[in-house]
Chains A and B, each alone.
Chain A
Amino acid sequence: EIVLTQSPGTLSLSPGERATLSCRASLSVSSYDLAWYQQKVGQAPRLLIYGASSRATGIPDRFRGSGSGTDFTLTISSLEPEDFAVYYCQHYGSSPYTFGQGTKLEIK
């Protein structure tokens, strides 16, 4: 089973700042099999990135995914008020389909 570890657990930033979220895998992951989700309180997860770096339909270009092997990053170039939420990375290449524990992005 691939264990995903996200850091930091909480990130406190202001609108307009750049956010960098990390996801580290316990085993090498194909770049094709890594996704990022955004989740707001009371809502279902929303797909942001698939294949480690491809933006899902309708996702603004301020969201950028990168990385390979065991280290992956989600970067939000300039935070908008609606970006403050919890972010999860997920491995979906084969079962079990594991998630990181999440990074909470909060307003400073």
Chain B
Amino acid sequence: QITLKESGPTLVKPKQTLTLTCIVSGFSLSTKGVSVGWFRQPPGKALEWLALIFWNDDQRYSPSLRTRASITKDTSKNQVVLTMTNMDPVDTGTYYCVHKLDFGVVVGWFHPWGQGILVTVSS
């Protein structure tokens, strides 16, 4: 069974750096085709994709966050880390990490999702 669980601070101050960790189980981050993405959802608003890291360490970022976000993984620890600099109150929301598996030429979908972690940015 594949599971993901987010952890990190639930309150950060403006201009601080946010570091979130996603601990995964049920699969290996080094398996070909595997990737893990980060998404967020401001209260009452729609979902937004932030970043993705592939099994081979290739990375993708949302154009709106490219200069602020960094995604890395540690296969031995089964964890994926998202770092976002210069946090602002508009970054308040629930942050999710999600599994994705591509099957050769078939692009995989995002499933399952972690339970999410609510991060509030406030002084």
**Chain A residues packing against B (C-beta within 8 Å):** 1, 32-33, 35, 37, 39, 44-47, 50-51, 56, 88, 90, 92-102
Q: Which of B7-15, B45-53, B73-81 contacts A (4 or more CB under 8 A)?
A: B45-53
A47 to B116, CA, bound (A): 15
Q: Which residues of B contact A (CB under 8 A)?
A: 37, 46-49, 52, 60-63, 96, 100, 106-116
For the residues of B in contact with A, the DSSP-based class is: strand
B113 touches A88 (CB 8 A): no
Question: How near does chain A come to B99, taking the closest CB pair, in angstroms?
Answer: 11
Kindly list chain A residues whose C-beta atoms are within 8 Å of the C-beta of B62: 95-96
Contact call A100/B46, Cβ cutoff below 8 A: yes
Listed from nearest, the 6 A-B pairs whose CB atoms lie closest are A50-B109, A95-B60, A44-B113, A97-B49, A47-B111, A99-B47
Q: A35-B110, A102-B47 are in contact. List 18 more A-B contacts (CB 8 A).
A: A32-B106, A44-B96, A44-B113, A44-B116, A45-B96, A47-B109, A47-B111, A56-B111, A90-B47, A92-B108, A92-B109, A92-B110, A95-B49, A95-B52, A96-B63, A97-B110, A99-B46, A101-B46
